[in-house]
Amino acid sequence: MKTTSPRAVAPSRTAPPRHFLDLAEIDAGTLRRMINLAAHYREGAAPEALRHPLAGRTLAMIFEKPSTRTRVSFQVGMQQLGGEVVVLSHQDTQLGRGETIADAARVLSRYVDILMIRTFDPATLHELADHASVPVINGLTDETHPCQVMADIATFEQHLGPIEGKVVTWTGDGNNVAQSWIEAAPKFGFEMRLACPEGLEPNAEIVAAARKAGGSIVLGSDPEALVDGADCVVTDTWLSMHDTDTDRSNLLMPYQVNRRLMSRAKPTALFMHCLPAHRNEEVTDEVMDGPQSVVWDEAENRLHAQKAIMVWCMGKIS
């Protein structure tokens, strides 16, 4: 009797993938479960079934922008979950030589189980997600940085308990991190204040959408007034990667986080910065290294929060 060799069949991926693109697109209960799982990972208390749930799975990371924290935290996180990692810079792929994002998404989906991209244009992220049959994670775009803010919320709750009902003040450029904080406000029930100079305000559509979703978003240009009584003060660099507008330094100097500004917040208030910091520009050394600063815990929580995000994306938690 003649026999035939078995033919390998690609695994079925009929269910739509769980993408992690922006906080506004994910319901509050799901985000809360991720934050709670991140705390379990930080404390070494994750359930047995969630300690190495991604064994045999592979994460591909695509970088159009340089990275330290994003690359290391995702790579170590995936390895701790039992999986493997492939790292691709823009120069390593055909994306830099004319291949479409859609085609790359289709090809990579045949090789790996999850994709993370750190890119400039949010349209690149969304096109990748539209054509991938595996989950896609937003590792940063010029518009938002949701992984960072999930880590920030995990850090807040590590030190001060539930963020619901609290006040967070952003001072400086209303950039991608600020905009993810805005999207988080209605999801976690805190008041988000933003002190930004004219011309560097956050995207008006993101603000309007957050307010429509029930978020308390306060905008203004006076950092002292908006920091008054805050539970947390957050800032970021004045010049992001590839920015050349050096005039921003003069415009943003009144928004520097220094001892005088922090003194207007609550005595228990935290200081956060997503790093890397330009010391003595957007934040002084005495605040960065002071007792209210939690920037190193914040950096560590990128690891724990992103582990929880990947576990959710792969359907291991609801």
Quote the CA–CA distance of 202 and 185 in Å, as a whole number.
Answer: 14
**Which of 233, 237, 232, 234 minimizes the C-alpha distance to 276?**
237
Integer-rounded Cα Rg, in Å, for the chain is 20
Locate all alpha helices (DSSP H) within the chain, ordered by sequence.
28-43, 69-80, 101-111, 122-131, 146-160, 176-188, 204-212, 223-227, 248-252, 259-262, 285-288, 295-313
Q: Is 274 a catalytic residue?
A: yes
Q: Which of 42, 69, 131, 145 is catalytic?
A: 145
Q: What is the rounded distance in angstroms from the CA atom of residue 63 to the CA atom of residue 88?
A: 6
Contacts of 291 (CB under 8 A, 6+ apart): none
Residue tagged active-site, from 113, 131, 148, 196: 148
Catalytic residue among 42, 69, 118, 304: 118
Q: What are the distances in angstroms from CA 317 to CA 35, 60, 256, 313?
A: 12, 21, 40, 8
Tokens of 128: 């990748």
Cβ atoms of 112 and 59 closer than 8 Å: yes
Nearest Cα to 252, choosing from 239, 261, 271, 241? 239
Residue 223 in 3-state DSSP?
A: helix
Q: How many residues does the chain have?
A: 318
Q: Which of 147, 196, 274, 313 is catalytic?
A: 274
Catalytic residue, chosen from 22, 113, 231, 236, is 236
Is 91 in the active site? no
Per 3-state DSSP, the chain is made up of helix, strand and coil in percentages (nearest 5) of 45, 15, 40
Q: Let me know if 236 is a catalytic residue.
A: yes
CA 167 to chain centroid: 20
Residue 145 appears among annotated catalytic residues: yes
Positions annotated as catalytic residues are: 118, 145, 148, 236, 274, 302
